[in-house]
Amino acid sequence: MTMNEWFVLGVDLGSTTAKAAVVDSGGALAGSSVVQMGAVSREAVGRAIDAALATAGVARSAIRRTISTGYGRKLVPGVDRSFTEITCHARGAAAMRPGVRLVIDIGGQDSKAILVDDDGLVDRFAMNDRCASGTGRFFDVLARALEVDVADVGALALRGTDTLEVSSMCATFAETEVISMLAQGQDKADIAASVHKAVAARTLGLVAQVGKATPTVMTGGVAKNPAALEHISRLLRQPVEQLDEPQIAGAYGAGLLARDDVAGSAGLPHVADAATADDFARHKSAGVPHCAACDGNLDHAHGASGEPVPLDLQRNIR
């Protein structure tokens, strides 16, 4: 490390994992880590930060700025600022896949579709945070019901056919439904494939609310599930690309914002995140309830009032 070299830190504290990314003065990823946890944990954050610093070969004293994001971003100690995960996933994905226009983020607690502009900033987004349907926790439930490791559920689904009807997307009721299917003698691979198809349909509903765009990437832990990528790509009728390290997109985005902050070029992202944060709060508190017509239908979306909006008019919504 030279005298003029400096580093910043991005921390993404989610509901099931803690991620940290060390970013150098040029915006390159110097080191990162992902730590699994049972619940939101400051201890896990500390381990993620220590591991990222060790990977980068950087001392904590060399960190000029730290920005947090994610479900538990307000719980990360010693940060300079916090940004929404919407902003950070958009920024991180845009850096990891230049030219990206649509980011599908499926994490442990919620799922989001984020439309990204030319500058890697959020144009608009839709999210589901009201239940575990289609999230990482939903796949945990599926794996438990099928008695397989969650890391293997995607490979299992790719071996099956997706013709079974999954009537419930509620994690609790879906587990009961899966157990009922098993009792009827249905094949585990077919059950897994059919559930993945249903999750893809729910994800497509989020995409319908922001507008289809390409290139498209997935971030979050579910992006490592090959069957999730396959089924979402199939229903979107376009490729969904997998990033090399999809789980660290949010932390990397936070690190890039910290890098911009130190370099004095963060005015626009800060303003954009303030607007995104307001919209994010509205979505979490009183946003549009889930609409069954959204699932699997790219021509159905909603405006701020909750009224359906034709897809060709969506680009006028701000």
Token code pair at residue 159:
């071996």
Contact (Cβ atoms closer than 8 angstroms) between residue 189 and residue 155? no
Q: Are residues 24 and 2 in the same domain?
A: yes
pLDDT at residue 135, as a whole number: 72
Residue 27 CA to residue 17 CA, distance in Å, equals 24
Q: Are residues 23 and 121 in the same domain?
A: no
Residue 80 CA to residue 288 CA, distance in Å, equals 33
Q: Are residues 223 and 281 in the same domain?
A: no
Q: Are residues 83 and 207 in the same domain?
A: no
Q: Are residues 193 and 228 in the same domain?
A: yes
Q: Are residues 159 and 259 in the same domain?
A: no
Residue 313, pLDDT above cutoff 60 = no
CA dihedral 310, 209, 306, 285 (to 10 degrees): -170
Q: Are residues 147 and 257 in the same domain?
A: no
Q: Are residues 174 and 302 in the same domain?
A: yes
Q: pLDDT grade, residue 167 (50/70/90)?
A: confident
Mean pLDDT of the chain: 82
pLDDT at residue 317, as a whole number: 29
Q: Please identify which residue in the block is written with the tokens 């950070």.
A: 88
Q: pLDDT grade, residue 168 (50/70/90)?
A: low
What is the per-residue pLDDT across 93-124, written as a single tens digit (0 to 9) for each? 999 999 999 999 988 778 899 999 988 889 99
Range of the domain at 121: 100-242+289-318
Q: Are residues 144 and 215 in the same domain?
A: yes
Q: Are residues 157 and 303 in the same domain?
A: yes
Instruction: Output the domain CATH number for residue 264.
Output: 3.30.420.40
Contact (Cβ atoms closer than 8 angstroms) between residue 30 and residue 23? yes
pLDDT at residue 2, as a whole number: 58
Q: Are residues 222 and 150 in the same domain?
A: yes
Mean pLDDT confidence for 183-196: 94
DSSP-assigned beta bridge partners for residue 103: 114, 217
How many folded domains does the chain comprise? Answer: 2
Contact (Cβ atoms closer than 8 angstroms) between residue 317 and residue 288? no
Residue 31 CA to residue 214 CA, distance in Å, equals 29
Q: Are residues 255 and 235 in the same domain?
A: no
